[in-house]
Amino acid sequence: MERKVHTAYLKTGMYIANLDRPWLDTPFLIQGFVIRGDDELQMLQRYCEFVYIDPERGAAADYYMDEGLDLPSNVKLERFLGSNQREVEYRDLKTVEQEIPVAKTALEDAADQIGLIMDDVRIGKNLNLEAVRGVVEPVLESIIRNPDALLWLSRLRQKDNYTYSHSVDNCALAIAFGRHLGLPRDDIRILAIGMLLLDIGKMKVPEAILNKASTLTEAEFQEVKRHVDYGVEILKNTADIDDSVIHIAMTHHERYDGSGYPNGIEGDQIPVYGRIAAIIDCYDAMTSKRIYSDAISPHNALQQIYNWRNKFFQDELVEQFLQCLGVYPTGSLVEMNSGEVGIVLSQNRTKRLKPRIMLLLDEDKTAYKNFKIIDLMTQAIDASGHVLNIHCAHDPGAFGIDPTEFYL
């Protein structure tokens, strides 16, 4: 009996009985064959999205598309989403100002190391999981002490390579979100590693396609989508990798309504880490400058994600993500009702509409000689006696402000 299998889950020893396209449209000369090596495996993944195997004539698959994926989820996190009872209650152990020097070292080391790790994969070396853990641990410890310091720096720092920066930013956001959800450190660590590596498959996509500024052709777009397959393959070949890390890479482009790829699974068929990954990956992409699009403000990105709840993303997770980052996330460029302009420095955990802000421009949009830091929880009145609040958010670059100038 033929069974439908996505090419991401093919392995040597399987008997290929049929393809998702005519045999003549592929380089395969024989109709029906056993996969003997990596060359045939990679060629199948390049030309086909799915194939039909005969488990009676070759090896069986772990997952069949005709029965859906049966991926395990994080039971503790699923339980929290139903009860709002956190397993761990984290408290800030340092102020933003105290944590920033340590966070800066952790962030810069992470940016340097992930580049080396991914470059090794690009040239065909095995993924160095020990090095990946070394990247994650200092970032995790900093965010556990105070999430705002590293998130502030991450938002403001210069980013030369989108893929590498996106990986580090995803990792940091995942740790902050896991902390907010009350996950134990071991669970946060798995989520962080998964988010750091979810785009590892892009190392197998030609750089010319990844760096193309104009619209991709359909063939190029399909190749970009195959980064999921390539990533799953890389991670499956990595010793001691946690299955949840593989599942994050496998499902981060799936969508809650079933409109995602590569398998079109929906709802709780997607493991909860995959549902989280989809939100974080989308948020960071929208708030980052890419070759083909400018960044939008974190505030506007959150509004868009909110509009997509119960369509692309699970409602309960969207609500928690908004609570985690706040209405105006750390690093946001905001304008006050006084006309002054500043960058959100840190959140007040109990009142998200009243963060601490570094004011850069006065009401006439003239730069302050000495930046002022105000806390809307305690400094709610301006010099004229008016109640201070945030009037609106602006996209990065507004008023000629270069955020990287304020990278401490």
Residue 261, both tokens:
């790829």
Nearest to 201 by CA among 159, 252, 161, 271: 252
Sheet holding 367-375, edge to edge: 367-375, 356-361, 341-346, 333-336, 390-394
Amino acid at 360: L
Q: Superfamily for 75-325?
A: Hypothetical protein af1432 (1.10.3210.10)
280 sits in which H/E element: helix 272-286
Region 200-204: what's the mean pLDDT? 96
Region 280-300: what's the mean pLDDT? 91
Is the pLDDT score of 121 beyond 90? yes
Amino acid at 74: N
Q: Give φ, ψ of 77 to 5 degrees.
A: -70, -40
Residue in the block written with tokens 């965010």:
143
- DSSP-based three-state secondary structure for 260: coil
Query: What's the CA gap between 142 and 89, in Å, rounded?
Result: 16
- DSSP-based three-state secondary structure for 202: helix
Question: How much is the pLDDT for 407?
Answer: 64
How far is CA 383 from its chain centroid? 41
Region 101-117: what's the mean pLDDT? 95
Amino acid at 365: K
Highest mean pLDDT among 41-55, 179-193, 278-292, 386-400: 179-193
Is the pLDDT score of 39 beyond 90? no
Greater confidence, 113 or 64?
A: 113
Query: What's the CA gap between 100 and 98, in Å, rounded?
Result: 6
Give buried/exposed letters for 84-95 (b at 16+ CB in 10 A, else e).
eeeeeebebebe
Is the pLDDT score of 86 beyond 80? yes
Whether residue 396 is preceded by a cis peptide bond, meaning omega within 30 degrees of 0, is no
Question: How much is the pLDDT for 9?
Answer: 77
Query: What's the CA gap between 357 and 346, in Å, rounded?
Result: 7
Structure confidence at residue 92 as a pLDDT band (50, 70, 90): very high
Region 292-319: what's the mean pLDDT? 94
- CB contact set of 201 (below 8 Å; sequence gap of 6+): 226, 227, 228, 229, 230, 231, 232, 233, 234, 249
- Average pLDDT for the chain: 91
- Quote the percentage of the chain above a pLDDT of 90: 68
Give the number of other Cβ atoms within 10 Å of residue 310's Cβ.
12
Least confident range of 4-13, 61-70, 108-117, 355-364 = 61-70
Region 36-40: what's the mean pLDDT? 88
Nearest to 281 by CA among 199, 209, 344, 202: 199
Span 349-363, pLDDT tens digits: 888 889 999 999 999
Nearest to 298 by CA among 196, 154, 114: 154
Chain length of the chain? 408
Structure confidence at residue 42 as a pLDDT band (50, 70, 90): confident
Span 51-75, pLDDT tens digits: 999 999 999 987 777 665 678 888 8
Question: How much is the pLDDT for 245?
Answer: 97
Is residue 212 within 8 A of residue 220, CB to CB? The reply is yes
Region 81-86: what's the mean pLDDT? 84
Is the pLDDT score of 158 beyond 80? no
The residues facing 299 across adjacent strands are: none
CATH 1.10.3210.10 domain range(s) in the chain: 75-325
Query: What's the CA gap between 403 and 397, in Å, rounded?
Result: 7
Structure confidence at residue 6 as a pLDDT band (50, 70, 90): confident
Structure confidence at residue 408 as a pLDDT band (50, 70, 90): low
Region 253-274: what's the mean pLDDT? 93
Span 216-259, pLDDT tens digits: 998 899 899 999 999 999 999 999 999 999 999 999 999 999 99
Greater confidence, 46 or 106?
A: 106
Question: How much is the pLDDT for 66?
Answer: 62
